[in-house]
Each structure stands twice: as C-alpha cells, then as structure tokens.
Structure 1
Amino acid sequence: MGPITSTLPVRLSRRLLWTGLERKAADPVPFLPAVTGCTVLERYPDGLLREIVVRGEQRQRERVTFAPPDRMDFAQLTEPLWQTISNIIGDGPGGTTLTLSLQLSPAGEEKARLEPQYLAAMRDFVESTLVAVVETLHRTSTEQAGRAR
C-alpha cells in the first residue's frame, strides 16, 4: 500500500513555507488541534527528536528529519500503526503547494486491509490535518510579516 497523501496550494514563498514548517516541527501545538503539548528532546544538524502529547494524554516520539529546501519527514518511533509523515513542498499549476503524506507501518497497512473504516479515517486525518496546517501557516506568516514592519 502506498502512502496516503493530500496536496493544497499555499500562498507563501518556498522560503516562508520552509520557515513555517521548521516552526511547526519545534512547536506543533498552534498547527495541529489534536496536539496539546510538545517537548524537543534533542536537536541534530538535520532535525530533532520530539515528544508530542495528543489530546492531553497519549505521548508519541518522533524523529524529525529536515531535507531542505522541500521535505521534512516525521518518523514515528512509538506509534505502531504509522511509519512516517512527510511534509513536501512542491510546485503546482497555481504556484507553491504543500503535500502531507502518511505512510502506514506494516501493522497499519494490515489494519487498513481488515478495517476499511480505518483507511477512510486516515484519509480524513491527512486531509483535515493539511487544511489546519496550511491555514495556520498563512495566518502566522501574515502575523510575522506585520510585526517585521
């Protein structure tokens, strides 16, 4: 099974989009409604290790790898059904795009085969998460530009 993906246009330059994704990696709380906390545990030349809190109770560790200028991967270290979430900056007919891609783990793929509603829920998750991220990127980039003046 291939990754579950969704793509949206983004009204930001690639540079601003990348800067926003770096902010999201270090502090996803403003970008992802289900994430209620985040601690950066380690920083590396190519990314970071973080622990996020989902809905105030579930803790998940992720190794975030930066691949500038167009890709950021979130390897799921404690979520048994997911393998990697990727944020990919691209070009579409109308300009810059952001793609969110979720690769399920072998256990997640098996669950998706056995439970079609799980696959549907993951597609909904990817689409709604991307919408929330893009809306927050637009809002926060505009706010930062206003403060810089």
Structure 2
Amino acid sequence: MIYVSKEVAVNTDPAHPKLSRSEIWKGLVMKADNALPFVPGMAKCDVLERSANGLVRDIVFRGEDARERITFYPETKVVFLRLSGNADGFIVNEILGEGDALSLRFSFALQLVDAPSDSEKEREFREVMERDYLKAVDATLGAIRKMATTNPTV
C-alpha cells in the first residue's frame, strides 16, 4: 500500500488572490466533474452517473483506465474511491483551517492490483504517482485561483 499526503497553505502568497472555503470547495467539485484542467496526466474524465452527494466517473490517468466513485462532504472534503483500474484504494482532497489560514490537503492510499506490496513495480508506481499527484495539488490551486480571478462568482 502506498500512502502519500501533501498539505498546502492556500492564502500565504500576497501575489495570489485570497480564496474562501466556498471558492476552494466549488473548485474541488468542478475538479471531480472534469479533472482535465486540474490534473496533469489526466487524458479522460467522463461522468457516468450523478447522485445527491457525488458521482461515478471513468478516467484515463497516465494511460491507465479507472473508474471512481466520488463522494462529496460539502465544504470539507471530496473522497475518490477506486472501483476499477490498475490500483485499488482512495484519494482524499480536504479543505482545512479557517479564514486566511485555509489549507488544502491531498492524500492517497493506493495499492497496485497486479503487484505485491513493496515490490519493484510498486516502488516505481509510487514514484510516478507521488510526483504526478503532488503536481496536481499545485495545478488544482492554480486552476481555482485562475477561476476566482477571471470569474469572481466561482
């Protein structure tokens, strides 16, 4: 099992617009609906079904197909549960803190379906996922900041 977590302060750089919890939340919901502008390496993101508190989508990430069930915990977190693909597990995007002290934490716990834990294949997968997923934290914040700047009602 691979576990990685990264937390980024949201409102510490005066060059960036201050984001509210609501703006971050709206960005995370948009990311769940269409991750392409938010996640480098994502080539496909198709929503298959919607419910009151989430959705199911098919994605292609780094050339691998996967299906995810996404559950929304309004203004708090989004949980992505892998239903199929080359890895089992979950991903969590959380909004932490209050006011100007907001932060965004991305965590994942994944295990390759066809490789033993701590195998060379899993270690290589961890390196790629950690690098790409941690880039997604910065890309997500960048996309939310851009939306907040160009469309203040986001």
Sort the TM-score into its range (normalised by shorter chain): 0.7 to 0.9
Q: Which amino acid aligns with 1:133?
A: T
Q: Distance in 1 between matches of 2:148 and 2:127?
A: 32
CA RMSD of aligned residues (A): 2.5
Deviation of 1:137 after TM superposition, in Å, equals 1.3
Match of 2:69 among 36, 40, 63: 63
Residue 81 of structure 2, aligned match among 62, 72, 75: 75
| Residue range with higher mean Cα deviation, 44-53 or 2-11 | 2-11
Q: TM-score, normalised by structure 1?
A: 0.83
Instruction: Report the Cα distance in structure 1 between the residues aligned to 2:74 and 2:131, rounded to whole angstroms.
Output: 27
Of 15, 19, 26, the residue aligned with 2:26 is: 19
Letter in 1 for 2:128: A
Match of 1:45 in 2: 52
Contact map agreement 1:89 1:99 (CA 8 A) in 2: yes
CA separation in 1, counterparts of 2:107 and 2:127? 15
Task: Check the 8 A contact 1:72/1:87 in 2, yes or no.
Answer: yes
Q: Give CA deviations for 1:23-76 in whole Å, capped at 9, x if unaligned.
A: 111111111121122211100111001112335x53321100001121100111
State the shift of 1:126 in Å: 2.7
Distance in 1, Cα, partners of 2:8 & 2:94: 11
Percent of aligned pairs with the same amino acid:
29
Q: What TM-score results when the alignment is normalised by the length of structure 2?
A: 0.80
After the TM superposition, which parts of structure 1 deviate over 4 Å for at least 4 consecutive aligned residues? 106-109
**Residue 133 in 1 paired to residue 105 in 2?**
no
Q: CA deviation at 1:106?
A: 7.1
Distance 2:104 2:115 in 1: 24
Distance 1:37 1:43 in 2: 17
Amino acid at match of 2:140: V
Specify the alignment match of 2:9 in structure 1. 9
Once residues 137 and 39 of structure 1 are traced to their aligned partners in structure 2, the CA distance between those partners, rounded to angstroms, is: 20
TM-superposed deviation, 1:117: 3.8
Equivalence for 2:94: 88
Say if 2:119 is the partner of 1:114: yes
- Greater helix proportion: 1
